[in-house]
Amino acid sequence: MQSLKFLFILLFLGFSSFCYCQSNDLDTLRKYSYEELENIFYSYKDGNQVENSKIIAQYYLQKARKEQKDKKYLAEGYVLNQYNQDLPVALRYIDSLGMISKNFRDDDRYPARIYLLKGLLYNQFDNETAALENFVTALKYAKEKNNKRQIAIADLQIAYLNGYIGKHEETVKVLEYYYTHQDFLTEQDIEHIQINLADAYLDIHKYEKALKLIQKGIQQTSKNNEELKYNRYLILLGRYNLKIKKYSIAIQNLENCKKYFLKNNLDFDANYTMLYLGQSYAEFQNKEKALENFIKIDSIIQKTNNTFPELRYTYTYIIDYYREKKDKEKQLYYIDRFLTVDETLNTQFKYISRELPRKYDTPKLLLEKEEIISKLKKRRYLSYITIGLLCSMVIILTFLFVKAKRKEKEYKKNAQDLIKAVNDKSYSSEKTFENKVTDNQEVFDPEKNKISDDIVKNILRGLKIFEEKEQYLKNGITLNSLAKKLKTNSTYLSQVVNTYKEKTFASYLSDLRIDYALIRLVNDKTFRSYKLSVIAEELGYNNEQAFSKAFKRRTGTTLSIYLKEIEGNSN
């Protein structure tokens, strides 16, 4: 089947030069079936022929809308058209796919496919946090439908993100598994795994394994005349030679593919090529060539706003270079560029960050910036003031750091005690009145509270049902609404709660929800995997901030530490 597909693509490519380059007549596409048009589209897309792929996608969608033959073709039309678009347009196509796919009850690809497409899209537009959230959601739905291919794709995309943020050992485990378990993967999926696995092997210093995959990829792509894939393997070969300190060979490899990527406006590939090329020149003691490549990276970043973690190395190198040259103006300029990029990186990796070796941390760099400004303006006294402030900040930050560490230790212990109590089944939600009142016990001082015993007992029975049936999880519960449900008034209900629960109604309601959450988070892995906003909503809170605040007040620990300790115990 693959050879027939490849033959078809070759025939079409010859034919298309006539269709598009000479007549540009879409009528010539009518002879092709939907499946053939899809093959043509992906051949153009994979070959980086953006405009031709857009023409095919637009024609496909137009044909599906006109014929109304099968809704699945309309769905595929939306899929094809979301490629090669800017983010808002692409998301609209995916949302249209989401609407139409609600009718595909027998198609086990949905809704996971929606989230996979969104994850890939956000990843393309440098929003790794949103990408990860969508891949995790896709994985959940894929498992629910037992769609093994989608499970594999979601696993792989999460692994690629892990590799991108530095969790290379985790990445290697996943990629090795799917590289040897290929039942549900296409040839293109396997090629993608192969190149990423080679890259990950280099990250964990398994150079022989990496070289074996790189050489295999170079042979395959040379034989099939796949120029783009060939050059991507050539990057890895250059990086391999950089790792084993064969710098002149690395430079030769990387200079070749640099020309190809810049010529074809493949900025992402070009940036990584020039990163390794700059590092190779730096090791080769050619500082000017290293600088040239790093400055070129910065110019592309300013154009595209697409960042990557290793940028910190490039800027620190440039800053050191100009410090050595005593060029204060350029030193100051690239410090500002560094701080801008560093802020972007910290924002991007808020939820999936990694620890990178940093030659400069931000406070030191900010101080250096102030010192340079003072020298440029010939105001030496400013540097002494800055140094004094920095010393004060160091003292304050050290104090706050020690205090925070102590607090974190306290939070961890509280979390561990709570988890142990839940696991030992010695923790349970508060019993609201069982041990405080019996049918024969006087419940109130009538003179003081003006409420009859019968009313109090009826309210307490109602609260017992309210707790046992977990009605407190419903959103929007108020003192008045519950009083109405219990057929009493808010004043009586408030007094009963204050006396027998020994807390306000708001605290009583919140504590029930948090006690429920403590137990369910430990026992329900699926519930734990939800986004915090979803968990908060299920518990009856309006937002995750209100939930987190209530959780800390009730438990003496933070929600994040509690979840982290649960996962630690599970592992």
Tally of CB atoms within 10 A around 237? 23
3-state class (DSSP) for residue 523: helix
pLDDT, position 431: 39
Q: Are 271 and 249 in contact (CB under 8 A)?
A: no
Q: Which pLDDT tens digit goes with each residue over 454-508?
A: 899 999 999 999 989 989 989 889 999 999 999 999 999 999 999 998 999 999 9
Sign for the CA dihedral angle at 349, 354, 193, 247 comes to positive
What is d(CA 504, CA 500) in angstroms, rounded to the nearest whole number? 10
Q: Which of 185, 186, 166, 162 is nearest to 174 (CA)?
A: 162
| Predicted TM-score (pTM) above 0.75 | no
Taking residues 224-251, what's their average pLDDT?
94
Q: What is the residue extent of each domain of the chain?
A: 1-107, 446-570
Per-residue pLDDT at 13 exceeds 50: no
Per-residue pLDDT at 334 exceeds 70: yes
Taking residues 346-366, what's their average pLDDT?
48
Q: Are 236 and 253 in contact (CB under 8 A)?
A: no
Per-residue pLDDT at 440 exceeds 60: no
Taking residues 130-153, what's their average pLDDT?
92
Residue 518 Ramachandran class (φ > 0 left, ψ -120 to 50 alpha, else beta):
alpha
**CATH 1.10.10.60 is right for the domain spanning 446-570:** yes
Which of the pair, 444 or 202, is modelled with greater confidence? 202
* C-alpha 82, offset from chain centre: 20
Q: Are 559 and 544 in contact (CB under 8 A)?
A: no
Helix-strand-coil percent breakdown of the chain, rounded to 5? 75, 0, 25
pLDDT, position 126: 79
Per-residue pLDDT at 299 exceeds 80: yes
What is d(CA 268, CA 488) in angstroms, rounded to the nearest whole number? 66
pLDDT, position 452: 87
Q: Which long-range contacts (CB under 8 A, 24 or more apart) does 192-197 make?
A: 192/156, 193/156, 195/229, 195/232, 195/233, 195/236, 196/159, 196/160, 196/163, 196/171, 197/172
Q: Are 71 and 61 in contact (CB under 8 A)?
A: no
For the chain, the average pLDDT equals: 83
Tally of CB atoms within 10 A around 331? 22
Q: Which pLDDT tens digit goes with each residue over 215-233?
A: 999 999 999 899 999 999 9
Per-residue pLDDT at 66 exceeds 80: yes
Could you give phi then psi for residue 170, rounded to 5 degrees?
A: -65, -40
Lowest-confidence pick of 102-116, 161-175, 303-317, 375-389: 375-389
**Residue 65, CA distances (Å) to 68, 71, 78, 319, 506 in order:** 5, 9, 11, 56, 54
**Residue 509, CA distances (Å) to 345, 484, 495 in order:** 40, 16, 15
Q: Which of 27, 54, 61 is nearest to 40 (CA)?
A: 54
3-state class (DSSP) for residue 428: coil
